[in-house]
Structure 1
Amino acid sequence: MARHDAGPGPRLGVEEEFLVVDAATRTVVPRAAAVVARAADRLGPRVSGEITELQVETRTSPVCSVKELVDQLVEARRVVARAAAADGLRVIASGTSVLPGAADPPVTRGPRQDRGTATFRGLHDELAICALHVHVEMPDRERALLVGNHLRAYLPLLVAMTANSPYWEGRDSGYASWRTMIWPRWPVAGPPPRFDSQEHYERVVAMLHEAGAVVDAGTLFWDIRPSVTHPTVEVRVADVPVTAPESALVAALVRAWAAHADEAVVGGDTGPDIPAELLRAAYWRAARDGLDGEVLDVTTGRLRPAREALADAVAEAMPRLRSYGDAELVDGWLRSLLAAGSGATRQRAAVARRGVLTDAVDFLAASVSDAEATQESFFA
């Protein structure tokens, strides 16, 4: 891949996952298939079901422009919200369900899904969790792996920045991102190992297959991985954000950090050797305290305010953001995020007004169904 000093950056794309809820009770319901069928009339292959019948996934086409990316995200949210409303349903953008009903979710059926249920068993009881996946185009798998080594250092910060799952099954977890605490329970999930080469990666994956820890390549659930289906590095650590601009903000930053890392890889730097135990502790701290707490800097082993760490990481990305024409958008979105607080903060604020959990569901559903208005207010 050429150096990204000017012009459009590598192409990128985003996947967002949502929960389907009943408009009256606000509880999750296994009606995703109906929403997908209606939304597909407008979105085609950009909308699909997920592993459980409670979830809908949308995706963007590969684009160079972050402005085009956010437009596609807003469109997809608008379409799925209207499709849901036609059947007395709503969709919410939250890493976990607010109200009880997501435990032991109905899993979609098929040979692959059935193998997953047989393999992972009780882990599937907490599978109805929703993430944001960002894809950045790479020239080959080895480059994606080595770029991923560099991106590992940003993962705890991304957890804090996108924390949007404070509630689980009708209770406040005490965490900003409870989804982050659920997901690494799978045998091949959470922070990825550091890989020296594609051969090293394939050797590790072969051993995991031999151990029966994966069903297929799609169940290599690490938070950074070379995509199974696309020529990209895929960053999967984030809770699905409340708004489309937040998802676009994460994507823009990930692309800029990946381009910075790619240049380092071309220069022979295969990435820092971050101890797995330090990265795990950093995840826990970021998931607990979110954007308003402290994050563990995995390059120094020291705690620092999350907002300060984010400001430094954005400054590092800024030369590429400027060259891609994304700097102004990112700056505006970031200011709005810092003013509004994380998704977890906003969910709790919605509940605090009356002490009623359904108010968090209504807030989240409105943020999806009124995607254009939310986008405009987020720009303001």
Structure 2
Amino acid sequence: MEEEFLLIEPDSRTLSPRGLELVGEAAGDLGDRVGPELTRYQVELRTDPHTCLKEADDQIRATRTAAARAAARLGLRIASTGTPVLGRTDPVPITPGTRYARSAAHFRALDDEQTVCACHIHVGLPDPRDAVHVSNRLRPWLPALTALSANSPFEGGRDTGYASWRTMTWGRWPVSGPPPYFESPAHFDDLVGTLLEAEALIDRGGLYWDIRPSHHLPTIEVRVADAALTPHDTLLLAAVVRALTATALTALRAAEPAPRPAPELLRAACWRAARDGLAGHGIDPLTGRLEPQTALVERLLHTITPALRRHEDLDLVREQWQRLRTEGSGADRQRAAFRGRTDTHDVVDFVISATCAL
């Protein structure tokens, strides 16, 4: 798992450009499990590979706590939210490095919108060549995953009206959003090669599709989620994505055809999920019909129940899903924090507190 965090000045609650300092401060405890991001407002934390979610949960909490303590030694805080609640300064301060400099020169003001944070889940595959076929089978569930993980309603001091504003900012990138349906691994390789030749990418690391075969690990990487507000939210997402991947592999081995929603419907369903999150209606990308988003998530959970049972994760997912039904998504909880005094400073304080919540 890879989690991205914003650095916050506690007095003003605005972003701090001291990401490299925090990486250095936290490295003594975390080693290479902490690293920089494109902007100096951010850092990334990584877990080791895990097969046991209890062990993953322990490491997620320990890693977040170590980073928060390192930030506190620098007079800073870390916040797990998909977008900065309060404003940033444009152009954003870019982390030094050849690749980041190339990105800034090539994509220009788009890099100013990279002050967004995500949670990426990697799932190991027995045969990495299966990654594109797994991607095909995960595509229809992207809207449900977007709603389940939405945690970016505020940006620049205002409520955007979206549960996941981060999802909308990503849509401006040339290679982003739901991936295409791939006919074969060769189709994937040919398309990526064409995108590189067309200079829509600077390298394979710039494939910002919501699902992609990892370019450096034998995994499928699910990148659709906002940074998770709490460790509980990260764990739920990891359990669901792992079970989805296992379900896809079972279907692949049985030679079941992959669902193939129209790209236009899938994109519209992802937009609706980003706008309304769990609180409203969503679009079923296979039928085009509006249904309560919670019903679409319930359908997802029903589909992966056999895999959850095999992984011994079913009770955990049921418990955490019930918690979300009661408390709301990260976006819902951020808005609840705002309603108390209608002050975005309260939202920032709430996110900081929730980032390392027990």
TM-score range, shorter chain: over 0.9
1:99 counterpart letter in structure 2: L
Tell me what 2:268 maps to: 281
2:233 counterpart letter in structure 1: E
What SS does the corresponding residue of 1:353 show, helix, strand or coil? helix
1:185 aligns with 2:166: no
**Is 1:55–1:128's contact at 8 Å kept on the other side of the alignment?**
yes
User: Of the candidates 305, 309, 318, which is equivalent to residue 331 of structure 1?
Assistant: 318
What SS does the corresponding residue of 1:57 show, helix, strand or coil? strand
CA gap of 1:302–1:102, structure 2 versus 1, over 3 A, is: farther
Alignment of 1:260-279 (within 5 A): 260-269=247-256, 271-279=258-266
User: Of the candidates 133, 139, 147, which is equivalent to residue 146 of structure 1?
Assistant: 133
Between the aligned partners of 1:271 and 1:142, the Cα distance in structure 2 is: 16
CA gap of 1:274–1:244, structure 2 versus 1, over 3 A, is: same
Between the aligned partners of 1:331 and 1:83, the Cα distance in structure 2 is: 34
Shift of 1:107: 1.2
1:168 aligns with 2:155: yes
**Is 1:102–1:169's contact at 8 Å kept on the other side of the alignment?**
no
Between the aligned partners of 1:160 and 1:132, the Cα distance in structure 2 is: 14
Between the aligned partners of 1:102 and 1:76, the Cα distance in structure 2 is: 28
Tell me what 1:38 maps to: 25
Alignment of 1:1-380 (within 5 A): 14-101=1-88, 103-269=90-256, 271-368=258-355, 371=356, 374-375=357-358
Between the aligned partners of 1:315 and 1:275, the Cα distance in structure 2 is: 23
Between the aligned partners of 2:253 and 2:280, the Cα distance in structure 1 is: 35
State the Cα deviation string for residues 79-123 of structure 1 (Å, max 9, x = none).
111111111100101000000116431111211111111111110
1:182 counterpart letter in structure 2: T
Between the aligned partners of 1:316 and 1:356, the Cα distance in structure 2 is: 41
Between the aligned partners of 1:303 and 1:59, the Cα distance in structure 2 is: 37
Shift of 1:275: 1.4
State the Cα deviation string for residues 269-301 of structure 1 (Å, max 9, x = none).
352222111111111101110111111111221
State the Cα deviation string for residues 37-88 of structure 1 (Å, max 9, x = none).
1211111111111111000111110010111111111111101111111111
Shift of 1:367: 1.1
**Which shows bigger deviation, 331-340 or 357-366?**
331-340
2:124 counterpart letter in structure 1: E
Between the aligned partners of 1:269 and 1:139, the Cα distance in structure 2 is: 19
**Is 1:102–1:126's contact at 8 Å kept on the other side of the alignment?**
no
What SS does the corresponding residue of 2:200 show, helix, strand or coil? coil
**Is 2:140–2:260's contact at 8 Å kept on the other side of the alignment?**
no
Tell me what 1:378 maps to: none
**Is 1:103–1:169's contact at 8 Å kept on the other side of the alignment?**
no
2:2 counterpart letter in structure 1: E
% identical equivalent positions:
47
Q: Give the RMSD, CA atoms, in angstroms.
A: 1.1
Shift of 1:140: 2.9
What SS does the corresponding residue of 1:136 show, helix, strand or coil? strand
State the Cα deviation string for residues 344-374 of structure 1 (Å, max 9, x = none).
1111111110111010000000112xx2xx3
Between the aligned partners of 1:273 and 1:255, the Cα distance in structure 2 is: 21
Between the aligned partners of 1:142 and 1:235, the Cα distance in structure 2 is: 16
**Which shows bigger deviation, 109-118 or 17-26?**
109-118
1:124 counterpart letter in structure 2: D
State the Cα deviation string for residues 130-182 of structure 1 (Å, max 9, x = none).
00101111123330110010000110111111111111111111111100000
